[in-house]
Structure 1
C-alpha cells in the first residue's frame, strides 16, 4: 500500500500538518512568550538588560516542535538548543579572535549549509537555517569586543542563553500535564518527517549560494550588519515551491517595512532602556502567534523586536540602525529570490 506521504507529496503533507497546528496558535505563542518573559524579567530585576539579547535567542528554542507530542517536541527542542547554542558560541568567539567581515561572511555560508542539511535530515520544524544563521551572524557582528568586559559578558551571556533554553524546554513539556495545550497521543501527520539525503543536500546548496550572494553584496556596499542580509537570504528558500518562495519573499519585504515603521517610533529618544526591554518581551508573543499562519505579519512584530534588542546592546544612531536593517533585508530577500529562480524545480 502506498504511504500517505507519497500520495499527497511532501509539500502537501507538511501544509496539511501546518493547517492543523494553526488551529491553536495561541498555545505555543504563550509558551514561547513566557519562555522569554520570565528569564527576561529576572534579568531586568538584576539590572542586566545588556544580557537580554542572549535570553531572546535562548527563547527561540521554544519555536521548534510546534504541534508535536511532548516527547517529539522535546527531541526537536534539544536538537535546536544544540544548533542555536553552537551558533551563539561560535558567533561570540569570532570577534574575540579578530575575525573581520570577510571571514564572518565565509563562516556564515558554511554554517548555513551545515545547519540546513542537519535541520532537514533531523526533521526539525520550522524548516530552514534562518534562526540559527541569524543567531550566528548577530553575535559575530555584535560590537562586544570594543568593551573591556566583553569576555565576561560573553561567558555570562552563554549561561543566560543556556538557562533560558532549558527553561523553554520545560515550558514545552507542560502539555504532558494538560497545561498550555492538550496532551497528544500521536504527532501531527507529516510535520516531523526527515528530508531524503539528496533533497537535503540540494536545499543546503541553494542556501549556501543565496547566503554567499547576499554576504558578497553586503560586503560590497559596506552594510554594517551583514548578518541581516545573510539571514534574510534564507527566508524565501524555506518555502517548498517557487510560487510560495515568491510569496514568502514579498511577505518578508512587506512585513519588514511595517516593522520598521513600528521600530522607528519605539526607537525615538525618550524611551528608557527598561521600556524597550519590556517591548521586546511583549513582541515575542505575536511573533510566534503569526509565524506559521502569516509570515509577513509575524515580521511586522519580529523586526521591531530585533531592532529594539540591538539598541540595548549597541550605542548606534537609530536612523542608521533602521536604514541598515532596510538595506540588509532588501539584499537578503532579493538574493534568496534570485537563487530560487536560478535553482528552480518543478513543484
Structure 2
C-alpha cells in the first residue's frame, strides 16, 4: 500500500458520534458466550455478567476513542488461527485465517457499524445486498436468476454470467480511498477518521462492501450483483452481440486495479446459459490473458453420481419393507435436498 493514510480535516460543526450507556449495556448483554476470547483472554461471560458494572467505564472509553479518532492499541491486537479449508493440508493456501479480536472491541465495532448502516443513503446500488435491512444472499440469487430467466424468454438471446473471485479481498482495502468514499456517502468526518485508524492493519467485511458501492454496471444490458466479496457480472446478450458484455468485464478489471483488488483468475468462472436450438460455440472470456469457461457438465455429473448412490440405499430400505412415510423422509432428506 503506497498511499499514505492521512486523516481528513474536521470542521467545528462536525458532529462526533456519541454512544449512550443504554446501547453499550444492551450490546454487552447480547454477547455470544460461545465465541472464543481474543488475545486479552477476557471471556465473554465476564463482560456479559458484569455488564451493569462495566457499562459506564466502557461507554467513556468508547466515546473518548470516537472523539479523538483513535482506537486503543490494546483493542487492535488479534490472534490468527489457521483453519483448514480441506484435508489434508498441503500448503498455507489450504488454510483459512480466522482472526480472534478482543470481545470488548467486537462490541465497540457492533455499535459503530450499526450507526454506519443506519446513516447510509438510499441511493446505494440496489444490486448490493449484504448488511442491508430485509436483504440476504437468497435475494441476491433470486435477483440474478430473475434477470437471466426473464431475458431468456426473448427471441435469439442468451446469458453469460461471470463469477468473480478476489484474492484476499478484505485485506486489500486502501484506507485512504475508503474514507474518501465514505465521506462522499455522507458519513461525518470524525467518524471517517476513526475508521481510518481502526482499519490500520485491520480488514472488515462491511467496509469492503462500502468500498465497492460504486462498482456498478456501465451498460443497461449488464448487471453486477454483489454480496460482500462475492460478485457476479450478468450479461444479457441479444443477437449474438457480446460487445457491451466484454467491455463491461474489461472496465470491471480496470476498476479492480484502481481499487487495489486483485482478480483471482484461477477461481473466476463463467457460465453461458444458451438454450437456443441453433446455438453457436461461444468464445471464452479473456481476463488478464487467462481464458475461463464453465459448463454445467461437471455439476450435473456430480449430482447424478450422488443421486444414484443414495437411490441404491433407498431401494435396499424398500426391500426391507420399511413403511412409505419413512421412505419419503429418507428421500427428501438425502436425495431431494441435493437435487
Higher radius of gyration, 1 or 2: 2
| TM bin (shorter chain) | under 0.3
Larger helix fraction of residues: 1
More strand by share: 2
TM-score, normalization by structure 1: 0.26
